[in-house]
Amino acid sequence: MKKLLLVDDVKLFLELEKTLLTRSNLHLFTAISGQEAINIHRKEKVDLILCDLYMPGMDGDEVCRRIRSEEGLKKVSIIMVTTSARDIDMCMAAGANDYLLKPINPTELLKKVGKYVNVAMRRDVRILARIGVEGVKGVGSESFLGNTVNLSVSGVLIETRHAFTIGENVSCSFFLPGNSTPITATGEVVRQANGNQPGMNYYGVKFIDIMEEDRRAIESYIKGHPEVAA
């Protein structure tokens, strides 16, 4: 199993990257500071580090230089993440193998990670999509409201104030932008995730019963989304 370390002081980006990169043959570690990243790598000897350039205390280029200067740590691939193309030369000079620009394009992220570690990529593309969702959960048919966080043809990450139980079924309905007919699906709650909004809960729901026409509508929406079309 390959080991990947995500280093970013902004938890929102860490959760985004974790969502995009969760694979059965990839063990993810996260750090919110440069020193924590070095400590984790020293202990775990990860295969790939995805590191933000600008962080409090120790910037990503300094993290990279320190790793490259230590014999027991330097044999690792490093992808630097920054907001400006002007920083690329700085990243490469510090010893990075590659770079990514924010906002992170999921397709580009997966492509670059796959270049350095042989991981099984999801068959379904997952995009960020904040869409209002309503539905019912559990055998008591308790209703809930929330928003989607990301979406694929196989499932959705939901943000809600309601509490779900792993393994329970939920029925949900939402309108894709530009569509007048709602998407309706039944899914299984397969995981609980972390989020950046206080008081909100985040759950990954895998679709187990969705009409083919709704699945095709989601697929069409994803293909036309800027993250995928870019």
pLDDT digits (tens, 9 = 90+) for 36-48: 999 999 999 999 9
Reply yes or no on whether the pLDDT at 180 is more than 80: yes
Give yes or no: residues 12 and 112 share one domain. Answer: yes
Mean pLDDT computed over 86-112: 89
Cα separation, 13 vs 117, in Å, equals: 21
| 201-210 and 183-193 beta bridge pairing | antiparallel
- The pLDDT value recorded for residue 31 is 94
The model's pLDDT over 203-223, given as tens digits with 9 standing for 90+, comes to 999 999 999 899 999 988 988
12 pLDDT band (50/70/90 cuts)? Answer: low
Q: Reduced to 3 states, what is the DSSP secondary structure of residue 166?
A: coil
Give yes or no: residues 109 and 32 share one domain. Answer: yes
- Counting residues of the chain whose pLDDT is more than 90, the rounded percentage is 61
- Could you tell me if residue 122 is inside a domain? no
- The pLDDT value recorded for residue 225 is 75
DSSP output for 76-91: SEEEEEES-GGGHHHH
Give yes or no: residues 14 and 41 share one domain. Answer: yes
Give Cβ neighbours of residue 86 (< 8 Å, ≥ 6 apart). none
Where in 119-175 does DSSP place strands (E)?
A: 127-128, 132-137, 142-152, 155-160, 169-174
- The pLDDT value recorded for residue 104 is 82
Crossing angle of helices 60-69 and 34-44, rounded to 10°? 30
Per the prediction, the chain carries an average pLDDT of 88
Query: The whole model's pTM is what?
Result: 0.56
Give yes or no: residues 135 and 112 share one domain. Answer: no
What is the rounded (10 degree) CA torsion for 22, 24, 25, 26?
20
Reply yes or no on whether the pLDDT at 230 is more than 50: no
Reply yes or no on whether the pLDDT at 119 is more than 60: no
Q: What is the CATH number of the domain that holds 34?
A: 3.40.50.2300
Give Cβ neighbours of residue 39 (< 8 Å, ≥ 6 apart). 31
Q: What is the CATH number of the domain that holds 211?
A: 2.40.10.220
Domain boundary among 77, 94, 116: 116
Give Cβ neighbours of residue 110 (< 8 Å, ≥ 6 apart). 20, 21, 121
Domain boundary among 116, 145, 176: 116
Give yes or no: residues 110 and 9 share one domain. Answer: yes
Alpha-carbon separation of residue 7 from 208, 210, 229 (angstroms): 34, 37, 27
What is the rounded (10 degree) CA torsion for 150, 164, 121, 105?
20
- Could you tell me if residue 225 is inside a domain? yes
Cα separation, 84 vs 190, in Å, equals: 37
Domain boundary among 80, 96, 116: 116
- The pLDDT value recorded for residue 120 is 53
18 pLDDT band (50/70/90 cuts)? Answer: low
Give Cβ neighbours of residue 117 (< 8 Å, ≥ 6 apart). 2, 4, 26, 47, 48, 77
Domains in the chain: how many in total?
A: 2
Reply yes or no on whether the pLDDT at 35 is more than 50: yes
Cα separation, 19 vs 67, in Å, equals: 26
Give yes or no: residues 158 and 111 share one domain. Answer: no
- The pLDDT value recorded for residue 19 is 67
State the residue range of the domain holding 203.
Answer: 127-229
